[in-house]
């Protein structure tokens, strides 16, 4: 698959060949749905917790005698039927996370990259850095590339470059910055602009080839 590389000023520089095993796959909607739901489930805290009648504070004694009052029978003040009593079938602390097969996860990421490439929402950008670390400099580059809404930038693992771009992008609410080796299906799928640095695109191919060779 052919891809166009753009400069930080938005000009088309050259064409490069992209790995078809990453950017030209058929769209598999099922595995995308599976990966996104897995990420959302793993992010859930599961801390909502209500007390049942064994946990609320109160006496176990009967509030009044069983017979002779003309009132309904009461076991204790912690009954779920009384104000201040326990909660019936309320939410309990739980772990929502579950594991997903690694091959399926990789397939989901590659399928989303293919989807964005085929939808022309993916742009290859020449390698750049924000030497100043200032937000306004990164905003200017995004504006030149037409990325003014929900944008994801995929970086290589160059520590210094990544550090300055992340610093510059920290205050941009619609921007997410990811490493090529730690992509997230949810962020990729819902992005309106996917900017992949040229070096990161090469590393993506090497990364998935190496990982799958070890399987």
Tens-digit pLDDT string for the chain (215 aa): 788 899 999 898 888 888 888 999 999 999 999 999 999 999 999 999 999 999 999 888 888 999 999 999 888 989 999 888 999 999 999 999 999 999 999 999 999 999 999 999 999 999 999 989 999 999 999 999 998 899 999 998 888 889 999 999 999 999 999 999 899 999 999 999 999 999 999 888 888 887 777 76
* Cα 165–Cα 171–Cα 174 angle in degrees, nearest 5: 90
pTM to 2 decimal places: 0.84
Identify the structural domains of the chain with CATH numbers, from first to last. Answer: 2-35+100-214 (3.40.1370.10), 45-95 (no CATH)
CA–CA separation, 192 vs 115, rounded Å?
12
CA–CA separation, 41 vs 33, rounded Å?
12
């Amino acid at each position: 698959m052919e891809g166009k590389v753009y400069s930080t000023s938005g000009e088309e520089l050259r064409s490069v060949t992209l790995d078809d095993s990453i950017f030209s796959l058929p769209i598999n909607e099922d595995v995308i749905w599976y990966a996104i739901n897995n990420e959302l489930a793993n992010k859930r805290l599961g801390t909502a917790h209500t007390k049942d009648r064994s946990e609320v504070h109160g006496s176990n004694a009967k509030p009044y005698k069983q017979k002779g009052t003309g009132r309904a029978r009461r076991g204790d003040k912690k009954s779920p039927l009384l104000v201040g009593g326990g909660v019936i079938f309320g939410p309990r602390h739980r772990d929502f996370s579950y594991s997903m097969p690694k091959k399926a996860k990789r397939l989901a990421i590659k399928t989303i990259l293919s989807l964005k490439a085929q939808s022309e929402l993916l742009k290859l950008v020449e390698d750049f850095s924000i030497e100043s670390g200032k937000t306004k400099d990164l905003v200017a580059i995004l504006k030149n590339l037409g990325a003014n809404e929900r944008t994801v930038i995929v970086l290589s693992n160059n520590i210094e470059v990544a550090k300055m771009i992340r610093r510059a992008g920290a205050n941009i609410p619609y921007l997410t910055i990811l490493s090529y080796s730690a992509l997230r299906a949810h962020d990729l799928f819902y992005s309106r602009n996917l900017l992949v640095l040229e070096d990161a695109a090469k590393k993506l191919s090497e990364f998935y080839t190496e990982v799958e060779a070890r399987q």
